[in-house]
Structure 1
Amino acid sequence: MDGVILMEKAWIYHNSYEEYYRNPFGAVTCDREITLRIAVKCNSKIENILLALKKSKDNTETNLQMNFEENKDNYTIYKVTFKTSINPGLLWYYFIIQVNGDKLFYGNNAKQKGGEGQILNTLPPAYQITVYKKNQTPSWYKEAVFYQIFVDRFHNSCGEGKFLSLKDKSLLHSSWNDSPMYFKNPDGSIKRWNFFGGNLQGIIDKLSYLHDLGINAIYLNPIFEASSNHKYDTGDYKKIDPMFGDEETFRDLCKKANELGINIILDGVFSHTGSDSIYFNKEGSYSEIGAYQSQDSPYYKWFKFSNHPHEYESWWGIGTLPNVHELEPSYVDFIIENDDSVIKHWLKCGAKGWRLDVADEQPDEFIKKIRNAMKEYDPESMLMGEVWEDASNKVSYSELREYFWGDELDSVMNYPFRKTLLEYVLGQKDAENTYIDFMSLFENYPKDIFYSTLNLIGSHDVPRILTLLGDAGTEQNLSDYDKEHYRLNGDQFNLAKKRLKLLTLIQFTFPGMPCIYYGDEVGMEGFSDPYNRGTYPWGKEDYELLTWYKKVIALRKNNKIFINGDWEPVFFNKEVFGYIRKDGEKYAYCIFNRNVWEGSKVKINLKQDGNYINLLNTDEIFNNNNKQIEVLLAPLEGKIISNL
């Protein structure tokens, strides 16, 4: 494709993206040879070049001698080969160059995202190499198209204004079209939770819709008994919330979904419980003696009291969410190890995996135990973690996490993907920096993980994607009333839809599993929680968007190149970003113009002879002129160009 613009090399040069300088590229398995090269163009005498290598596992640092290899293109090439440890971890490296009695350093660039480095006379940022144990992600998972459902707001099988069960001190909406809202006490705590009546039977009733859309995996926000509508304040891990249904209904959901080729993933909230729970029982709602009520409670050791009962550690200081000691043996037994542990119980009921809420607040050892228990029961079950940053080098509570070292997560929610795409489509980041961001993840993540991340653009934790893409502005200065009633005007909505089509075209042709937040596919709007958690607008869908989503889902499912194909990112200019997908002799050149007002003409250098068409419009055929084609992109247009 040759869309990457190359700058002239500095007199010292190393580029971790180029396999000549780092072989193999990216993350590597344990006990694997790595060759690193550095190029120097200098009239003065090079006295010595060393590779400084540091291991994250034991924090040891060694210097390896680099030796002359060859002269090439007016540069002198120095090389070193070494073997990774039999244990996983991160390696960090930079170069020490001694010339004319001076000591210089060459390390990672200021962005610390790999690629071409920088020359400094002080210790530089280091390059990262992820070393991992080979582990196979479940095969079904890589081919999944996910749909995230916030259960109370998706579909009410009882009918509008009717409920399977009632809760004390709650607000029940008689109209499905009401706006979600919070009723708070003066201190900001929730006085009344509001409910619309969405339930598991409602999802069963809409399985045909999801199947027709092209969905083959559902990620459910928590479904276990809890006081709130979001259920992240678990009251009983072994009981479906009565407002959602019961265990029999859940089993039926899994069975009927499976018949349509759809797997169900549950949300596991294991770093904290609710204060109104069997285990803590601060509100006295349960007959069992909770940890708040007595130190003799069987659950007392689960929690982190500093002065029983009123002073205890809680999630982000929210008193209704008391934190737990995840490694307390009785808690580990209950959640993971027992024959009918929480993890195993719901897998036996039909779930195919778990998403770990706030994975960075749970110890590595705890996550490893969850994975072991899951894989023992079902090797094809999957474990995904909520991580908002580059998960390969995530530091949490001063500890480097081990998510990708081979014993923990199969996947993570790819929030960096979402952030980068939003910044690109909104004009906040040009194509070159988009390329750098994605290359950094590609370099740091084991390939199997990179092809298995959950690529989301919407979720219950962020504003609705259309609201963001429609230039709605910031919500910080808006009143609750204004946020509740804000809707994009006609021009804004049309702009948002065009941007969303471009963004989802990337999402569904990119490595990893695309995930749709319920209602995004039909034009739902809303600022942050609670306005991003509105009810699905049955009967009021934007069918233009829905048709587009069906088209890009079908494009992905009908072309395995977008699931398993090799991936090579490129950029042509500030506006046009793209990548090549390759599977054998099949190529797909995916190019995108984010400019709202201007089109762009780009030339693509082809890697394969033959005729090429636009997969989105098969009437558009490109003339192959000496392995080069010229492509015109309209404003906010993407094209997927493939050989026949």
Structure 2
Amino acid sequence: MNSETDLDKFSNHCQQYVFSDASHSYIKLNKQDLKITLNYWDTLYHLEVVLHYKIDGIFKSIVLNNKAMLFYKKISFKSDRISWYFEISTKGHIVYYSKEGISKNNPTKSRHFIYLQNKSYPKWLLSSILYQIFVDRFYKEGIDLRHKHSTPEMLIYKSFSQKPDSFQKSKCMDFFGGNLSGVSSKIKYLYDLGITTIYLNPIFEAISHHGYDCCDYNNIAKVFGSNESLKSLSQKLDKYQMNYILDISINHTGDQHKWMKQNQIDFYVTDSQNNIKKWEGVKNLLTLDYTCDNLKEKIYKSKNSILKKWLSPPYNCKGYRFDVGHSLTRDQNYFEHFNLWSDIRKHLKSKNDDSLILVEYWDEASNYLQGNMWDCVTNYFGFLIPLRKFLGLNLDQKNMKKYFHDSEVLVSSLKNALLEIPFAQSLLQINMLGSHDISRLYNHKNLKQNYQALSCLLICYIGVPCLFYGDEICLDGKIDNNEGYRYPMDWESPRFLSTEFTNLKLLISFRKKQKVLQIGSILFLSSPKGTIIFVRKLHEKFCLILLNFTKSNIDFQLTIPFLSNENELTLYSILEKSKKIKVKQLNYFTIKAYQSDVYSNII
């Protein structure tokens, strides 16, 4: 063998048997000492490992200690941030290990591991199961409440069994009558399902049912109840040790907002003729101008600001989902846009340091997710969009061949998204299978049979799972328009008695109890076409997730690198309590058509 071939062999070996990340398994902070660890799960090579790290702008290098299968070192750490990568060598061959894995070249700084001492992140979110509620479509308790801004265009449905009209007909002016009292009456149901945090779509005074055309940030829309209704909901959630967050758009208001009636035009972006800028050209959505200091005071700065009001007693909201957060001032001043978000974070965290800043964003968000602006995003880019491509959605014939059931492409997309942000931030990203803005996956043709696989993926993947109301019963809907994503909840559905519903509850219960699914590492294993196979690992605890999205049984060989071939390990099924399997480093598996399961060494 020539030298290049030997290096390739060494590199490929390390790719399979070397692992580290910035999880609690490999990073441990004790006062001002930070212990950084790397695993080598084999003995074929004698390795020397050098840690290259940067603190406070200074680069340093140090050789790691070696004990059994661990390489480790304690270093002094008095800063808020450290980045690092490993240099691994044997017999003159050198490779490098960073977030992107093994490389023959020195990794760029964007691929270095990062550890953040972020004291103002929402720690409670790590163990959370979110449940998004479009209030008008969830449940109605008591009499219908009169819409404050009633117009001839309003359509009131008589029953939750009716289907919503298309946008072309209703213009988002159709109401089913769901309200906050209805949400409150279903808290026990949500608690039993395993939900810890409810995320309420906009409930402030507005004209439309979706509420993104806000008329008054200081009052709850009468169609949903009142400020007192939200206070009562908060108190009931507290009894169940549950939280809630509010959806809000501080990028724009509706054209009927009280600020317009009070002639506070300086709150809005205007052109040279004093015409107010319409957000994305939508005539009734007026863009707010954050070069106006008075607006900043009103929205987030002052003691009695809008955002601080709802975080405070008696409402005690745990945080916000910010609609189109990437748009704030961005067209006016790109750099001021980022300064604005840092300032908003500073003020909200000064009020409650564990308050949540969740932002709607559909693209790669690493600029915002470095611990100084947003806590997390609705994870379209890093989860749902790659998954939709894998399932063959929104693809033309050419791309269908490229993406459909291509496990390598899916895993590559998921990995690449994780590479862009610190590990601690990846644990906070909000994963979902659908929302009020995008079709529910299981409503697409031939995807309902994938429901169990989708549920397992949602609950077990790195990040925080968020159910859209009705996901637990495969709520019906259409896939071609927003109204089809927002069907009224079917409280009479026979699916409450289904195996799928029971399995979802089992998965949720397991995740809430086991930190391995909350803060553990993720290792993607080689997956046959149409499958997703990965491991979540935390210290000695781990879960093996096997998902088959195809209509065929699949036989395959599976290597689990951190196990040995000498000793078999028993894993227990989370979904079938009497089922268990024996695994070692090299395994031969059969996954039946559409079968999915989660196995763990935790009883």
Q: TM-score, normalised by structure 2?
A: 0.76
- Counterpart in the other structure of 1:412: 377
Is 2:443 the partner of 1:467? yes
Residues 297-344 of structure 1, C-alpha deviations (whole Å, 9 max, x = no match)? xx22211111555x3312111111111112421111001111111111
Partner of 1:330: 294
Residue of 339, 343, 358 corresponding to 2:303 = 339
* 1:155–1:202 CA contact under 8 A, matched in 2: yes
Are 1:411 and 1:453, in contact at CA under 8 Å, matched by a contact in 2? yes
Partner of 1:516: 467
Q: Secondary structure at the match of 2:218?
A: strand
Which amino acid letter does the alignment assign opposite residue 495 of structure 2?
Answer: D
Q: Secondary structure at the match of 2:271?
A: strand
Query: Map of 1:288-437 to 2, 5 A cutoff?
Result: 288-290=261-263, 299-308=264-273, 311-348=275-312, 349-362=315-328, 363-392=337-366, 401=367, 403-415=368-380, 416-426=382-392, 428-437=404-413
1:204-353 to 2 correspondence within 5 Å?
204-280=184-260, 288-290=261-263, 299-308=264-273, 311-348=275-312, 349-353=315-319
Aligned to 1:536: 489
Which residue of 2 is the match for residue 620 of structure 1? 579
| Corresponding residue for residue 39 of structure 1 | none
Instruction: Specify the SS of the correspondent of 2:286.
Output: coil
1:568 Cα deviation (Å)?
1.4
> What CA distance in whole angstroms lies between the structure 2 residues aligned with 1:198 and 1:622?
46
The aligned counterpart of 2:419 is 443
Partner of 2:73: none
Secondary structure of the structure 1 residue equivalent to 2:181:
helix
Q: Which amino acid aligns with 2:136?
A: D
**Separation of aligned partners in 2, 1:199 and 1:234:** 17
| 1:534 aligned partner, one-letter code | Y
**Partner AA of 2:581 in structure 1:** F
- Kept in 2, the 8 Å contact 1:375–1:381? The answer is yes
Asked whether the equivalents of residues 528 and 556 of structure 2 are also in contact (C-alpha less than 8 Å), the reply is: no
Which of 136, 145, 159 is 1:175 aligned to? 159
Match of 1:503 in 2: 454
- Contact 1:581–1:588 (8 Å) recurs in 2: yes
In structure 2, distance between residues paired with 1:430 and 1:453: 24
Q: Quick check: 1:304–1:325 contact (8 Å CA) kept in 2?
A: yes
Distance (whole Å) between structure 2 residues aligned to residue 368 and residue 568 of structure 1: 33
| Structure 2, unpaired ranges of 5+ | 37-56, 62-76, 85-94, 329-336, 393-402
Displacement of 1:267 after TM fit?
0.9
CA distance in 2, matches of 1:116, 1:218: 41
Q: Displacement of 1:347 after TM fit?
A: 0.7
**Cα pair 1:622 1:629 within 8 Å, conserved:** no
Aligned length: 530
SS of aligned partner of 1:437: helix
Equivalence for 1:143: 127
Give the match for residue 588 of structure 2.
630
CA separation of 1:637 and 1:155: change in aligned 2, threshold 3 A: same
Provide the residue aligned with 1:560 in structure 2: 515
Question: 8 Å contact 2:551–2:594 — kept in the other structure?
Answer: yes
Amino acid at match of 1:245: G
Partner of 2:117: 134
Gaps of 5+ in 1: 1-6, 35-57, 59-63, 67-83, 92-105, 108-112, 281-287, 291-298, 393-400, 471-491
Q: 1:230 to 1:592 in 2, by over 3 A?
A: same
Cα displacement string for residues 276-307 of structure 1 (whole angstroms, at most 9, x for unaligned residues): 11122xxxxxxx423xxxxxxxx222111115
Contact 2:506 2:574 in 1 (8 A): no
TM-fit CA distance, 1:534: 1.3
2: CA distance, partners of 1:630 / 1:20: 22
Give me the identity figure in percent: 25
* Cα distance change, pair 21–179 in 1 and its aligned pair in 2 (3 A): closer
Distance 1:115 1:558, change over 3 A: closer
Candidates 145, 154, 159, aligned match of 1:163: 145
- The answer to whether residue 181 in structure 2 is matched with residue 201 in structure 1 is yes
Distance 1:563 1:22 in 2: 17
The residue number in structure 1 matching 2:598 is 640
> What's the CA shift for 1:11?
11
Q: Is this contact kept in 1: 2:167–2:482, CA < 8 A?
A: no
Matches within 5 A, 1:591-606: 591-605=546-560, 606=563
Task: For 2:375, give the aligned amino acid.
Answer: D
In the other structure, the counterpart of 2:528 is 573
Inter-partner Cα distance in structure 2 for 1:90 and 1:358? 31
Q: 1:350 to 1:271 in 2, by over 3 A?
A: same
| Counterparts of 1:381 and 1:523, CA distance in 2 | 31
* Mapped contact 1:164–1:197 kept (Cα < 8 A): no
Flag the 1:132–1:224 CA change in 2: closer, same or farther, 3 A: farther
Tell me, yes or no, if the aligned pair for 2:525 and 2:558 is still in contact at 8 Å.
no
How far apart in 2 are the matches of 1:247 and 1:436?
46
Distance 1:129 1:319, change over 3 A: farther
Q: Deviations over 1:80-108 (max 9, x none)?
A: xxxx9x898999xxxxxxxxxxxxxx99x
Q: Give, in whole Å, the separation in 1 of the partners of 2:490 and 2:458.
A: 24
How far apart in 1 are the matches of 2:14 and 2:291?
Answer: 39
1:153 matched to 2:137: yes
Q: Secondary structure at the match of 1:511?
A: coil
